[in-house]
Structure 1
């Protein structure tokens, strides 16, 4: 089945079995902290830099596509990566490995908080947030360095950032996309 050029891997496509996809995503699911944006940073480190399943451009295209779809982009990117590497079983394996553990932990933490238990110390949660911010910043910086090359692209990126900050919410984002 031919692939769209934006989804081809950086290295020749190697068929990965669904179990391998599951174990990779389970490790990420058990060690990643933060919301979908932080998860995308972890994915970039794992699948673009470390494993080279995708090029920087292909990953940016995949993330952009998943941002348009309803739901958390990190789950959608994960399932798309699993689909690319191991077909439909890979997409399911990626979801089971990454999203399901997070949902279970969140539910257990919620039950603990509802029961009046201090699940984690405030300092530990703050430290995890700082780490998540650092991962996101590193991913944004890395993508910007490889995708925003040249004065015209940097200027466009800066103008888009200013517009989104000046017009917060969905209308600012949609306006910037339409203008681009």
Structure 2
């Protein structure tokens, strides 16, 4: 192999590595709070939902795409370690599996799943704060002053036919 060829291959590998790393960082940047804290907080948040709090347990479908699969794996693991049944759901499979879950968690890059969730009566949640601000989900875990914060989109919550107790609404940042 010539030196020129080796340098070209090395340059190509470096570019691919940088692209892969930047994609992973983009996913992490979308979610300011670690999956472990998200799962703990979201479990408590669901306890304030007037419909879901009556259930003995609830199940979560964690929707992902190819860029967010590793993050989604971690979210499923953390829900499980908090005693919540959670499964990975490829974005392409959501429509056929939607009925299996009480709560739908949208990982980064899955905002298009909103159209599938619309009208289903499922509570939509995420670790991506922008998803609440845009009305993509009802609840997200964000960050304020270096601490986790609960964000609730009131309009989306009503559209999904869910209602939280006033105690939670006082603790949360409510938009829409």
Q: Which TM-score band (shorter chain)?
A: under 0.3
Q: Compare the two structures and name the one with the higher helix fraction.
A: 1
Which of the two has greater strand per residue? 2
TM-score, structure 2 normalization: 0.22
TM-score of the two chains, using structure 1 as the length reference? 0.22
